[in-house]
Chains A and B, each alone.
Chain A
Amino acid sequence: MSKSSITRRSFAKTAAAAATVALISPAEALIQSDPTKPGPALSQKAQAAFAKLSQPSRDEVAAKINEIFRKYGSRLNDEQRSDILRIMAEGQPGLEKMRAFALENGDQPATIFHPVLEPKAAARGKGEK
């Protein structure tokens, strides 16, 4: 039997899962740890925040959420997943406004770099701390 073939039972399970996903919103599909099981209802706030976004914004939020779930998904319950979706969706418009702020190429970042270490800082670097 090849690895790609499926049994009748597993086909039914896969089809059921596909049907479940089709019945829920893309946002809900994103947060459910197991789409074959009905998860807790996605909060209205989370659904509303995600629904307000443009498609490119949804894609960006979805990509970030997928990355979080890839790295840390085993630690998160459905409520936390829903919370993450809401917070990231709510934060996306502000992020886009910030990106739209007009900057010239020569507008330098206000970061600090000191090429020469002071004695105390150097000592800390050698493990004094």
Chain B
Amino acid sequence: MLSEDTLFLTINELSERIRKRQISPVELTESYLERSRKIGPRLNAYATLTPELALEQARIAEKEIGEGRYRGPLHGIPYAAKDLLAVKGYPTGWGARPYADQKFNYDATVVRKLTEAGAILLGKAAMIELAGGMGYRYASASASGPAKNPWNDGCWTCGSSSGSAAVAGAALAAFAIGTETWGSILCPSAFVGLSGLRPTFGRVGRDGAMALAYSMDKIGPIARSAEDCDLVLKAISGHDSGDAGSLPEPLAKYQGAPAPHSTIRVGWIVNQWREISPGVNSAITVAQEVLRRTPALTMTTATLPEGPWETAAGIIISVEGAAAFRELIQSGRVAQLNDPLGKIGGYMNEEISAADFITAQRIRGILQKKMDELFSHVDVLATASLPVVASKLDANLDDALSFPDPIGGIGNFCGLPAISVPCGFAEGGLPAGLQFIGRPLDDAKVVQVAQLFQQQTNWHRRRPNLAEAPGIS
């Protein structure tokens, strides 16, 4: 079996070794599988492992590479897909007990694209039930149980891509695919010290993905570095004719983030977090200094427009979610969900009026224009990913994570690309995150800034000591 040092390598480092035949894809897959079987259940990281499929794909990859048919940097790289992505013949339970036995006879577009790139599917990552679509109050809102943070198993990884972050954070796979409707890639990445990329809305096809909010769901990678996110987004982006929200191919296809040719203007948001924990504040202050010292960046400040953005975004998610899960709500099967809020959230969401829904959509158009104006002054916005470190596993999230998050609302409402990267450690030795947000289709710019940050820091190289974490060995 390969060493832990190897399993914590970035995709780029692993692929270099695979291409040079220093690492066998079969051995790499077997090593991640063994680690997933050993550590995965302790973190509630997976919904399902797919070992037969993984080993079959690994043998094919090994044969092709041996014959000189190298497909690219994801060839032979094992990953996990959030359990809302259909994988032919395997359970796709959407993290929710009412769908525990659900299977599809086709692969989601993202899974198909990763297969074509030669990546190896190790399993389906656990998630918050229905990606939180009916609301949830506790980390236990998952058919797999609460996903535990590899840095401290008494803490949560954050949802709804909670299992994806546990998988990537504990090196149970080289990367994981998550989704974000509001916060579900950036928050888990921040809480677990990972790099997570939320692409521009419409850039990654969603055919075969569970729908929560048709106009706000995005799919993206959670990995060890911004460079890794860049590699994965290149593979999974592109037009998807099965997704009405998909952009045309020339816009959808992500070409990657080369070294910047000109200076990038970074606007530090001055009106994002009302309060920030001392530990996160210290980490963020040091991170700001790193950005200031970066020759390729110019730092300025930016003020987000004021308005009812979060309420409007919430209304759209609630209404689209109530429509997507109407049968579940009206049949009463919502009672089978784990979370007390999930059992009643759909009933309330059904009562939002059509006029309020359309008003929210009209406000969305206004906000798009305001953000376009803001992005005429800066290329990328920056702020702490979250004002706190990972919450306790049993915390009531209404209390623990109930702060206003204007850029979270705005970014998801307008489909803006964003990335969270680790920027240090704060209270309890838990990771803190830094986020960069760009204008639509400027995914490359947020990745470039994140890469510049990671070229000068090694926070993304730090890894949890799983042998010493209580309950994990």
Contacts and interface: CB of A to CB of B under 8 A. Distances in A.
Interface in B345-368: 347-348, 350-351, 356, 358-366, 368
A88 B351 CA distance: 10
Nearest to A87: B348
B241 A109 contact: no
Interface stretch (A17-25, A28-36, A51-59, A91-99): A91-99
Contacts of A107: 362, 365-366
Contacts of A112: 215, 244-245
A75 interface: yes
Given A68-B347, A84-B347, A114 B244 contact: yes
Given A108-B365, A110-B365, A120-B207, A64 B242 contact: no
Contacts of B347: 68, 71-72, 76, 84
Interface string A69-105: 0011001100010011001100000110111010100
Contacts of A67: 351
A119 B207 CA distance: 13
B361 A109 contact: yes
A119 B241 CA distance: 7
B244 A103 contact: no
A109 to B, nearest CB: 3
A66 B335 CA distance: 20
B60 interface: no
Given A94-B314, A110-B215, 11 more contacts: A71-B347, A76-B347, A84-B347, A94-B308, A103-B359, A103-B366, A107-B365, A109-B358, A112-B244, A120-B242, A129-B106
Interface of A: 64, 67-68, 71-72, 75-76, 80, 83-84, 87-88, 94-95, 97-99, 101, 103, 107-112, 114, 118-121, 124, 129
17 contacts: A68-B351, A71-B347, A84-B348, A94-B310, A99-B359, A101-B359, A101-B363, A108-B365, A110-B361, A110-B365, A111-B215, A111-B361, A114-B244, A119-B241, A120-B207, A120-B241, A121-B241
